[in-house]
Structure 1
């Protein structure tokens, strides 16, 4: 599952940079209607966003806490600014239509099927709760601080997201027009329709672009630390190089540069096919979900068999097993749905090929472990025990 976690976070970085890059491209379309967006423009912007994240994770690494605290403040103020603007200026739909009318927009033949496939859009923003875990070695009292941070962040952003989704449904207007927006991003069209001002819509959309760009900064930090730690356990090829921290640096430079290289190479696929790139980046969902499923599954097994657990400063007590079981059931359902195509009768170019890539990585990782890893791999527990000695 370590390999799946590596795959998930590396493709997440590429996906985040790609979204930020194409959002910038959407802003250009919004302000210059005559501009014709080209795939290679989006690729260059993706690489630029990835490079931006590398600079902050190397030369400005010591400033990361300050930068992320500043982004949090922007996040909160931007949320309320956009929320109020939409409620004041947008024509609002009827509450009955928002809460009781459903359509099978995906053509699945049933509201239930369309809902199951569409639920992935709501899951994606809440993925990556383990990001802070991969930074735990750089935190004080991580065993107590991390669980609280993970739960509070999910609750905080989940509540904000719920409020904004309801607002968006009331203010979305003509759905077909919004989806067909030349910017490529429906929210930009909603902002424009609400304010009737290109400059105002640009200002509102810019906050979301900034949030997406800085989220990539955090993803690079997480992905590089995860790759570094996995390489330190000799679990990947070229482990000594990936796990090296150059003298005078406090960050794994080689792992950070590798993350940048992977994001840049994956972005090149967009020049040939944006659908192919989306299939690869959708691996982020399935790979991370599989790592969660295995981790929680191990906790369920140990709790069900009354096996001893490591001492923890944070515990859910008697509710721990219940939370694990409910989480596992939900994750398994989402994991299966994540391999589904966007419509029931996809052409080869529209097919979600992530299952093929996922299977190939799974086979390679098992083969690597059997023929190489068994002789070299040392788990993190063994590493901690060495430090204690």
Structure 2
């Protein structure tokens, strides 16, 4: 059989480009996909504004501050929440900048595990990227569990608010988690082609809702003295060590920024991704971060008696604060409904993100049944099987809530530890390349001469918070109150190692191997001429 001519390869390349352009890619997107050896299977429906809206709704920082305030208030008080949040926001700025630069260098749905493969030393890139891929899957899957649980708690709180005789039961909460998941599944399958438009509309509610909640709290609520709010550090959990209590509280604030790289996992559905994605990540961090800090201050001013809010019968402290501020169940209901709608669509965005991350990892043969999870529906143009897997995983995980809500919350908190690990390893890899003076890939978001300093600060910040992710919520914990995140984290690591030894090392090469192979094949296809 005669070898193919250069002309036949040119035609093949044009055909590949035609598919890319038909799916909304730019010439730069086409070049990036060719360099990374990836096929454009999804449609690029997101633009600058819509992906920014997607990221902001997914992170929902000011809403998460209210929903998770109980943790920071129990460990640090109002001053711990306000100043701790600001410290975490500034620290995450270095983390986000580092991740954004890598997202511009390699705009792929794989995100961290792909970046590790590209930037890690050749001797360990395969193993490190494989482990980061597993931790990324774990982090995003548990993220869906966290947000669907918080949304379910808000629904229970609304029922209790308007029907005081109602008794909050764990199995009710589990059923509500499933209800939220079904909504997320519908928007990620049947309405997948409208997802960019939907999230673009919801971001308007995200911003308008901020003022809709903020103004009534300031106007109607009984505010505290400034000196007390900004200086009252408290150890409500009884650690016996105030600085330690404040540090433990900081880990709750760190959870409000985990997932800030969500846009990177949607890269293959964003037009001009190398330019748009890093800027969407930075604006999400800055914009949502400021909204979150203002809301944290407002919430602390209107808190009143901390312990009465933390122990409210409504089960959700911020609903009690809404009730205290407005003086009516109707007013508190209206404000909570705003929070609830945003929470549900944040979960929609999280399900979309983690399905793309799982799809990308399966595409590189990183998980069992890779062909199944890397399948993209030709009609819906989304990885439907990965979406179904997210639904199944969260449903199974939610069964823990039937036995103990505390245990369920502790288990899903391992997602924060898993995500911080992926950030830490990927940023460490590019830091090492900079320390060695090795060339980096071109980027449309270049940190320049400040890159090394930014990376080093990000690494130090992540190491500090990673350690405290595994601390219990209070001293002398019982078996139920233990932070079982370390157990779940360890089980996933062990499973990944066993699978790697048995099969993974034989089928998983790491994205960089595909990049290298693609580069070589194109060099053979178009040999250099004098």
TM superposition score category, shorter chain reference: over 0.9
Q: CA deviation at 1:125?
A: 1.1
Q: Please tell me whether residue 119 in structure 1 is matched to residue 250 in structure 2.
A: yes
Q: How far is 1:160 from its partner? A: 0.4
Query: Bigger shift: 40-49 or 267-276?
Result: 267-276
Which residue number corresponds to residue 90 of structure 1? Answer: 221
Q: 1:117 to 1:376 in 2, by over 3 A?
A: same
Alignment correspondent of 1:224:
355
The residue aligned with 2:174 is: 43
Among residues 312, 318, 322, which one is paired with 1:187 in the alignment? 318
- Counterpart among 258, 266, 285 of residue 397 in structure 2: 266
C-alpha separation between the residues in 2 aligned to 1:383 and 1:52? 37
Report whether the alignment pairs 1:288 with 2:444: no
> What is the CA–CA distance in structure 2 between the aligned matches of 1:386 and 1:224, rounded to whole Å?
26
* SS in structure 2 of the partner of residue 119 of structure 1: helix
Matches for 1:373-384 after TM superposition, within 5 Å? 373-384=504-515
Which ranges in structure 2 are unaligned for 5 or more consecutive residues?
Answer: 1-131, 523-530
Write the distance in 1 (CA, Å) between the matches of 2:515 and 2:348.
28
Partner of 1:72: 203
Q: What is the CA–CA distance in structure 1 between the aligned matches of 2:370 and 2:146, rounded to whole Å? A: 25
My pick for the range that moved more, 42-51 or 98-107, is 98-107
Deviations 1:7-37 (A, max 9, x none): 0001111111111112111110111100012
1:352 is aligned to: 483
Asked whether 1:59 is paired with 2:190, we answer yes
Distance 1:190 1:263 in 2: 30
CA separation in 2, counterparts of 1:386 and 1:299?
22
Contact 2:193 2:380 (C-alpha < 8 Å) held by counterparts: no
Separation (CA, whole Å) in 2 of partners of 1:183 and 1:382:
54
For residues 20 and 380 of structure 1, the distance between their equivalents in structure 2, rounded to whole angstroms, comes to 36
Q: Deviations over 1:26-85 (max 9, x none)?
A: 110111100012111111110110110010010001111111111110011110121111
Aligned partner of residue 331 in structure 2, secondary structure: helix
1:162-184 deviation per Cα after TM superposition (whole angstroms, max 9, x unaligned): 11111111110111111111111
Is 1:321 the counterpart of 2:447 in the alignment? Answer: no
Answer whether contact 2:146 2:412 (CA < 8 A) is retained.
yes
- Secondary structure of 2:256's partner? helix
Q: Which runs of structure 1 show a deviation greater than 6 angstroms over 4 or more consecutive aligned residues? A: none
C-alpha separation between the residues in 2 aligned to 1:242 and 1:103? 47
Structure 1 position 11 matched with structure 2 position 142: yes
Q: Could you say which residue in structure 2 is the equivalent of 1:128?
A: 259
1:101 Cα deviation after fit? 2.0
Match of 1:31?
162
Distance 1:382-1:276 versus aligned 2 partners, 3 A rule:
same
**What is the CA-CA distance between 1:283 and the residue it aligns to?**
1.1
User: How many residues are paired up?
Assistant: 389
Question: Structure 1 residues 92 and 370 mapped into 2: Cα distance closer, same or farther (>3 Å)?
Answer: same
Rounded Cα–Cα distance in structure 2 between residues aligned with 1:204 and 1:249: 35
Shift of 1:102: 1.4
Task: List aligned pairs for 1:272-311, cutoff 5 A.
Answer: 272-311=403-442
Alignment partner of 2:467 out of 311, 336, 350: 336
Question: Could you tell me how far apart the structure 1 residues matched to 2:448 and 2:418 are?
Answer: 29
* Pairing of 1:207-218 with structure 2 (within 5 A): 207-218=338-349
Separation of aligned partners in 2, 1:296 and 1:247: 35
CA distance, structure 1, for counterparts of residue 461 and residue 136 of structure 2: 19
Indicate yes or no: 2:370 matched with 1:239: yes
Structure 1: state its 5+ residue gaps. Answer: none
Deviations along 1:71-108, whole A, 9 cap, x unmatched?
11001111012111111111110111011221111211
CA distance in 2, matches of 1:387, 1:245: 22
Separation in structure 2 between the aligned mates of residue 23 and residue 3 of structure 1, nearest angstrom: 31
C-alpha offsets along residues 327-384 of structure 1, whole Å, 9 cap, x if unaligned? Answer: 1111111111110001111001100011011112112212222221111013223445
Equivalent in 292, 298, 304 of residue 167 of structure 1 = 298
Offset of 1:386 from its aligned partner? 6.0
Q: Distance in 2 between matches of 1:101 and 1:260?
A: 42
Check whether the contact 2:192–2:380 (CA below 8 A) recurs between aligned residues.
Answer: no
State how far apart, in whole Å, the 2-side matches of 1:35 and 1:143 are.
51
More deviation, 363-372/96-105: 363-372
Name the structure 2 match of 1:147.
278
Normalised to the residue count of structure 1, the TM-score between the two structures is 0.98
